[in-house]
Structure 1
Amino acid sequence: MEVVFLRAKVFNKESFFISQIENKHIGDDGVIIGDNVYSKDLFCEGIHFKRSWMSLRDIASKSMLVNISDAIAMNATPKYALLGLKIPKNFNKNDLEELWAGFSTTSQKYSIEIIGGDTIVGNTLDISITIISTSKSPIYRDNIKQGQLLAYTGTLGSVQKDLKRLFQNKEISKTSKFITPILRQEFMQKASKYISSCMDISDGLCHELQRLSKANKISYKFIKNLNNNTLSSGEEYELVFSFDKKYLKIIKNISKKTKTPITIFAKAKRGSYKHKFKNHHI
């Protein structure tokens, strides 16, 4: 009897599951209903972080920041948060106070009120946050036109380098963007009227470009050479955005006034784009 082993085709489970949800709201960093924008992210131990890498205060703060980042990318102002928390069984009062300090400090910085949620006890620290924001003029992913320029804020690549150091049991700077992402709220508030499409860089620039390619049925003519580290570094939470070239001078002026570095790296063209990199998660 001949036994034949068939190699299972690897597929993206997250994308497949999301594809099962059929409604008009799916496809952006948040869901827009009326003037409200609803966004949600999970921040899970063993997937997004290890407790040995960050303080509990930093873990809680980052879990808020990565959710706020989605709202900023859609030109929305965060107002309220719902917090879901799985608390490890061995946590004591001091641990819980440290966690709350991270949630509280970050929410106050962005004028967000934590209005409720749910808690359970388990073996790992897992956080789920829903942010409720408002926006009169939200920015979607699917509004890139051929010939428009694409740019990203800040610098990309440092998070991936720091993540490699953490895997090697080496220390990283306390100011690392892996610990505390830099959000570009002021830049977005001033530049939003000139931006046609935007999303935050959570999974790496190459992943976000592929998503934008699919949403807009476009490809890219790269006008700047980007190395693999720049393309694939995840957890950056910078913004990748498009705009018409007639607004180039205005965008550069806003960049200068808000002290937000930008890199213009491509033009949108007809076609499609697929990257070659693996997912960045643990």
Structure 2
Amino acid sequence: MNLENYFISQFKNAHIGDDGALIDDTVYSKDAFFEDVHFKKEWMNHYQIASKAMMVNISDAIAMNAKPKYALLSVAMPKDITKAQMRELAAGFQNVAAKYGIEIIGGDTISNVKLDITITIVSKTKKPLMRRGLKKGHLIAYTGNLGRSGKDLKRLINLGKIHKKSKFVNIELRDKFIYNSARFLSCGMDISDGLFSDLDKLSSANKSGFNFYRPVKKNIGCSGEEYEMLFGFDKRDKKAVLRRAKLSRTPISIIAQSVRKSYKNRCKAHHF
């Protein structure tokens, strides 16, 4: 067990274990977006930083088939931040919130040596999509194309440049597909730590492993920061799922079938 999972295991709570905590018909989710951990200011301007911080958090709500309604922002800012940069941050938060119908209702600001952001999203759902629910024989799939975000991150770390429309900066969320397909899906989550690492979470939640139809390259399976959707469904619903993917113009890759065996993650832990 890695250190992140060990720490989480110290909290024995029925609400912990999904992309957010479901209480009645409300989902509460929270993610951090910290300088020198998730980004460097040399890589992104302040507008892009705020936008991505919001998108990362909204992704958790979508992954649970929940509609985000409210946001609480906590922003720790360095003392040398300018008013122009503050305005960029505010615009990034507000524009993404407006796009998804979210009201920013408060939060906290403090002085810090770096720019660190945490956001709480409050969402509503009538049919939550959980990590649990996968059954033997169900198909495993993901949206979009994986690997580009990890590749661009390596470029940035090596002082290279990436395209202004890079997936590492401009996340594409799959809300239309998830909202239209949820009734056919048995489980789901977003891919934030990499395909292999997040399959490990599905495996643990459902006590299952996977028979892959073809090998998945490590640079694809270990690419984090993708924010695509990983999900399972009954093979009898394959046509319905693919039809809704086509209607929402969402690329789908069916990669495996759920089986009763162990699963081993091939990636290093991202956080520790």
Coarse TM-score class (shorter-chain normalised): over 0.9
Q: Deviation digits for residues 82-133 of structure 1, max 9, x if unmatched?
A: 0001011100110100110100100000010000001100100000000000
Question: What does residue range 226-241 of structure 1 map to in structure 2 within 5 Å?
Answer: 226-241=216-231
Query: Of the candidates 9, 18, 24, which is equivalent to residue 8 of structure 2?
Result: 18
Match of 2:118, as an amino acid? S
Percent same amino acid among aligned pairs?
A: 52
Equivalents in 2 of 1:281, 1:184: separation in Å?
Answer: 25
| 13-22 or 107-116, which deviates more | 13-22
* Length-normalised TM-score, structure 1: 0.95
8 Å contact 1:48–1:281 — kept in the other structure? no
Match of 2:261, as an amino acid? G
The residue aligned with 1:152 is 142
* Length-normalised TM-score, structure 2: 0.98
Q: Does 1:187 align with 2:191?
A: no
The residue aligned with 1:221 is 211
Aligned length: 272
Q: Does 1:41 align with 2:31?
A: yes
Structure 2 vs 1, CA of residues 280 and 176 (structure 1 numbering), >3 Å: closer, same or farther?
farther
Q: Deviation digits for residues 127-176 of structure 1, max 9, x if unmatched?
A: 00000000001011011000000000000000011011101111101111
* SS of corresponding position for 2:176: helix
Question: What does residue range 128-139 of structure 1 map to in structure 2 within 5 Å?
Answer: 128-139=118-129
Q: Does 1:74 align with 2:70?
A: no
Question: What does residue range 75-224 of structure 1 map to in structure 2 within 5 Å?
Answer: 75-224=65-214
Equivalents in 1 of 2:226, 2:105: separation in Å?
Answer: 28
8 Å contact 1:56–1:98 — kept in the other structure? yes
**5+ residue gaps, structure 2:** none
The residue aligned with 1:261 is 251
8 Å contact 2:4–2:271 — kept in the other structure? no
8 Å contact 1:224–1:264 — kept in the other structure? no
8 Å contact 2:189–2:229 — kept in the other structure? yes
Deviation at 1:44, TM superposition (A): 0.4
Runs of 4+ in 1 over 4 A off after TM superposition: none
Q: Deviation digits for residues 227-273 of structure 1, max 9, x if unmatched?
A: 11110000000000000000111111111111000000000000121
Match of 1:140, as an amino acid? M
Equivalents in 2 of 1:102, 1:250: separation in Å?
Answer: 36
Equivalents in 2 of 1:250, 1:229: separation in Å?
Answer: 30
8 Å contact 2:51–2:96 — kept in the other structure? yes
